Structure 1
Amino acid sequence: MKLNKDEIGRRYGRALFEFASEQAQQKAILDELVAIEQIYEQVPDLGNILTDARLSSLEKQSLLDLIQKNASSIMQHFLQLLFDYRRLDCLSAIKDFYQTLYDQADSIYDATVTSAIDLNTRQKNLLMQAIAQQFGAKKVRLEIQINPEIMGGLIIRVGDQIIDGSVASRLKKMSQALLNS
């Protein structure tokens, strides 16, 4: 059975995170993964080039050596492992899952807030504090989305939890209640 990139990302990301944790290098390895992902963004097909048949093994190894040049020994060994198992095309999925594990371990939460209007800095700070308190987070990364259709209030999404305090949602509930009575 062939694994998809997300499953590969979870397996390798977890293994790398556990090893980095044993070495007390979680943040340093995350920083290296982010830097390598930036290289992948500059050369969008790099992962495929390093895994498919376009280049010889020697040419691919030379490219990998350039990527590994300034990496820590942990990252050098990890990249070589990915190369040997032809998994370098999954680096983005690995980094994403590693980031998820890092955030969980460090109590960092991502929250998406939908508002009818833009929020000022004070409102954003109060919202981050409230979300941190509600979810027990040390830090909250906030993404604001503007959607005038919600009319007012907020819709807050943290992970798979949604708190819908929008005016549009309240009106819809009131309308349904009136129709059902």
Structure 2
Amino acid sequence: MSSRAAIRYAKAVLDQANDAQLGNVVFGDMKSVAATIENSKELRTVLSSPVIKGEDKKQALHKIFEGNSDVTKGLIDILTNNNRINLLAGVAQSYVTLYNEAQGVKVAEVTTAVPISSELETKVLAKVKEMTGSDSVTLNNIIDEAIIGGFILRVGDLQYNASIANQLDSIKREFTKSL
């Protein structure tokens, strides 16, 4: 979950990108930034370290994301100058969410015990369409072995739980009621 400050920065970047007609380019940048930070423990440590100077963080980020747009590089500069560079991942995630909302794209989070198959993906997309009425959907697959099997689908504040763990819990509740 992103902080309110990260959301405010993301809104400002979205406005700036839309004004420059670079919304889609910056969307790609932000997905890349979010994924890079999420997948690199070392980078997260550097960004949150009070020992490393802001200027050093800025230079490192400019090297890492040198192929990105000027809007993205400007965001890195502003966050560094305001001593808020630790918000970069949250800003990137918030931007992706805001951009998807503006484009009418629904983001569905699918939790499965194993990586999602193409057959299950088709079923999930059909369920999302039924739940939301939207044809434009992006799926994020989260692996959680605790659900045993099936899937849990979340779209915004809607949830559909078709997991084996949920069904077992239901059976357990029925048994305890009848005792």
TM-score (norm 1): 0.69
Name the counterpart of 1:167. Answer: 167
User: Considering only aligned residues, what root-mean-square deviation do their CA atoms show, in Å?
Assistant: 3.5
Name the counterpart of 1:80. Answer: 77
Secondary structure of 2:44's partner?
Answer: coil
Residues 21-170 of structure 1 mapped to structure 2, 5 A cutoff: 21-37=18-34, 40=37, 41=40, 43-48=43-48, 52=50, 54-55=52-53, 57=55, 59=56, 62-63=59-60, 66=63, 69-106=66-103, 107-114=105-112, 120-137=117-134, 138-143=136-141, 145=143, 154-165=151-162, 166-170=166-170
Secondary structure of 2:83's partner?
Answer: coil
Amino acid at match of 1:9: A
Once the 2 structures are TM-superposed, how far is the Cα of residue 176 of structure 1 from its aligned partner? 6.1
Name whichever of 158-167 and 117-126 sits farther off: 117-126
Q: Indicate how the Cα distance of structure 1 residues 133 and 23 shifts in structure 2: closer, same or farther if over 3 A, else same.
A: farther
Give, in whole Å, the separation in 2 of the partners of 1:66 and 1:118.
Answer: 33
Matched positions, count: 170
Deviations 1:16-68 (A, max 9, x none): 1222223332221122223344554263333245xx454485x5564465456
Q: After the TM superposition, which parts of structure 1 deviate over 6 Å for at least 4 consecutive aligned residues?
A: none
Structure 1: gaps of 5 or more residues: none
Contact 1:111 1:157 survives alignment (8 Å): yes
Give, in whole Å, the separation in 2 of the partners of 1:46 and 1:145.
Answer: 27
Q: Indicate how the Cα distance of structure 1 residues 60 and 162 shifts in structure 2: closer, same or farther if over 3 A, else same.
A: closer
Once the 2 structures are TM-superposed, how far is the Cα of residue 95 of structure 1 from its aligned partner? 0.7
TM-score (norm 2): 0.70
Structure 2: gaps of 5 or more residues: none
